[in-house]
Amino acid sequence: MCLALFQHPSERVRKAARSGIDSIAKYDLDVFYGSDREGGLGPAPQSAGLDVLESMDEKVLKANHEAALRLLSGMLSPILEGVSWTYKSATISQGIVPAHPSVSDVRARSIQLLFRLYSLGENTQQKLATINALSEGTRTDHRGAADEKTRAMIARNTVEILELFAQLVVREDFQIVQKIESNSYWMFVHSLNDETKAAALKVEKAIAGNDEYAIYRTLIGFEGVFGDWSTYERTSQQIEPIEKERRSKASDFAKSITTDIYPAWRERILAFAKTESDDLATFPVFYHFLAEFASAQPALALRLITEDTAAIPRFLIPVLSSLWNGNHRNQVRELIEKWIEEAQLGVDHHLFAAIKMFLSTDDVNIELLERLLEKTTAIGDIPSVRQVATVALVRWRDAGREIVQKLFYPAVDQLTEMKNASWIFEAWFRQEARDLFAEMDAEGMECVLRNLLVLDKIDYHAEEVLHSLAQRDAGRVVQFLIERIRIEAQTRSREGSRDFDAIPFEFHKLQDVLSKNPGPVVRSVLDQYRTDNTLFAYRGATLLKNIFPTISKEFEEELLRLVREGGDGNLEFVLGLLRNYHGEPFTHTLCKEIVKAVDAGSSLLNEVAIALETTGVVSGEFGMAEAYERKKQEIADWRSDPDEKVRAFATRYTSDLEQMRDSETKRAEEDIALRKHRFGE
């Protein structure tokens, strides 16, 4: 059932199926030994799961490849785990899988099934995942608590796995060889005995005989082992000299390429470029090699990106940049113009690389970038439009303010039309962006803030941008946040609308700038509250709470001014804000002033009580009861206040707190008694 539902369209069902597979694979102490340490099942559940997998034919096993890997990886875990409960605690216990013949059999069968799954792998990612699953079978408990028999069992499994690895490295794709090299090296480092060490060294020897892989390891090998395994140590001190040596070798490779040997190097480059990775930061040496190649052999490099463009799309940028900085700029421009003409909606193209190369060229061609922006906008290529904005942000110092007017603002406006603000993720950390925002005029701020309105959430990336803008004009940023609150209200009123969150739960640094002058901030939010109090009673108050996490003297004076002005609107506004502070003592002055300002029978007194009695997070069975008692003590001096209204309020409020305290105490005691009954204690 779990296998059948593993790829179910519903995320909830998929999650339940994965949990079920994990439960079957996991060695549970109570199941293995029995809850009373008698009559346990041992690895019978795991063995039953293996029976199902072993009965599958090739087609069915292929279809369940991912689920089978998850199941088999769990069965190779060296850990036994159990959880015991009392009425007030849970205890997690761990142990080491014993070397019983039945356990050894489960592990051996699991490894054989993984060998079979590897042979059925249809792509590199499936094979890499299988290698990682096999590597689980070589690990002991990290605390080193395994006994000699268990260590010997795992050592036997490790030797078997390493023998397969030694066979694979002579015929497999280099990306797989690299993973085998990395994993086998760590098996060598953590060898359980001389046999596992010898088996690991056979893998090293097999890899050492692969001259072509040695080139791959230099240019691509982000997981490669650079040195003799017996003396090599992966430490931070070694990273820099290794990278320096790799770059030096890469430069030598690039400079050695001639017309005669270019065909061989072309095939090599195209093969290496197929290496799969979600992060291009894993290819710095290959980037360096390609840049050096384009610099040393520009004609051959131009031929490569002209004839084999589609085969190396992720690696065009270093070649383009080097050629642009050399004597082949006109040819590069002609090639880019050709790409612009050929680019179509929904068809792969190379305009992104043509734009991004200007991050590192000696100069920036604004006219060509305008052409690229026009085309990428026309075909709806958001990543490329975003990249134009990034280039303008990064290069505006050396290219001049012209690039901001001609590229940054138009690109951001286009992204706004596309309901996209993702440019901030490439801009928020850059000093060039901060400097530009610090000098940005009102027109520029409007362009940026207009774009940020399309964000579903203000996360720390957006807050960094807003923080820079707020230093230029804090009031405009407050108005921007208020506008987002209005948009949220409109969005939530429409059925099927997107999940729009106007302001974050809290600010990380924006409050430092916005809280410097409380008066205009409070008035801006109050003006919107008076326009629509249903909208701003909660969200406006939350915004002020974010800007003023505590009530400073200046902020308090501004709120006291509203209280003394009087009127239900002002008082309701202040009370709505005070609710957000969980009745902290620094709110008491304002609460007391409101009590003094209203009639004895006013419904606003109930709002004052609510603002005072709200709590933050409490802990323990009696957490709420203790919180109510604490709040009672915090207003003890109110009962002797000179103002009769304050004394009367304190008496009623104290009585209410005592009743809530006693009720919470009784509820907690009953809950404890019930849990003790359930657990037989």
- Which DSSP string do the residues of 492-529 spell out, in sequence order? HTSTT-----SS-SS-SSHHHHHTT-HHHHHHHHHHHH
Residue 90's pLDDT is: 74
Q: Is 345 found in the same domain as 267?
A: no
Q: Which of 491, 525, 549 is the last residue of a domain?
A: 549
Q: Is 657 found in the same domain as 566?
A: yes
Q: Are strands 27-28 and 79-85 parallel, antiparallel or unpaired?
A: parallel
Kindly state whether residue 19 falls inside one of the protein's structural domains.
no
Kindly state whether residue 620 falls inside one of the protein's structural domains.
yes
Rounded to an integer, the average pLDDT of 28-48 is 81
- Crossing angle (nearest 10°) for helices 366-378 and 409-417: 0
Q: Is 675 found in the same domain as 583?
A: yes
Residue 474's pLDDT is: 93
Q: Is 418 found in the same domain as 463?
A: no
Q: How far is CA 405 from CA 408, 440, 448, in A?
A: 6, 11, 13
Kindly state whether residue 507 falls inside one of the protein's structural domains.
yes
- pTM score over 0.85: no
Kindly state whether residue 156 falls inside one of the protein's structural domains.
no
162-191 confidence digits (pLDDT tens): 999 999 999 899 999 999 999 999 999 888
Q: Is 335 found in the same domain as 239?
A: no
Q: Is 610 found in the same domain as 536?
A: no
Residue 82's pLDDT is: 78
pLDDT at 279 over 70: no
First-residue to last-residue Cα distance in the chain: 38
- Residue 681 CA to residue 674 CA, distance in Å, equals 10
**Nearest alpha-carbon partner for 76 in 41, 43, 53:** 43
Kindly state whether residue 303 falls inside one of the protein's structural domains.
yes
Mean pLDDT for the chain overall: 90
Lowest average pLDDT, out of 63-67, 198-202, 382-386, 429-433, goes to 63-67
Q: Which of 309, 327, 345 is the last residue of a domain?
A: 327
Q: Is 537 found in the same domain as 661?
A: no
Rounded to an integer, the average pLDDT of 114-118 is 93
Q: Give the structural domain span for 312.
A: 235-327
Q: How far is CA 297 from CA 257, 272, 290, 311, in A?
A: 8, 19, 10, 19
Task: Confirm if 379 and 345 have CB atoms less than 8 A apart.
Answer: yes
393-406 confidence digits (pLDDT tens): 999 999 889 999 99
pLDDT at 113 over 90: yes
Q: Is 678 found in the same domain as 590?
A: yes
Q: Cα dihedral sign for 432, 433, 438, 439?
A: positive
Q: Which of 549, 572, 591 is the last residue of a domain?
A: 549
Q: How many residues are given for the chain?
A: 681
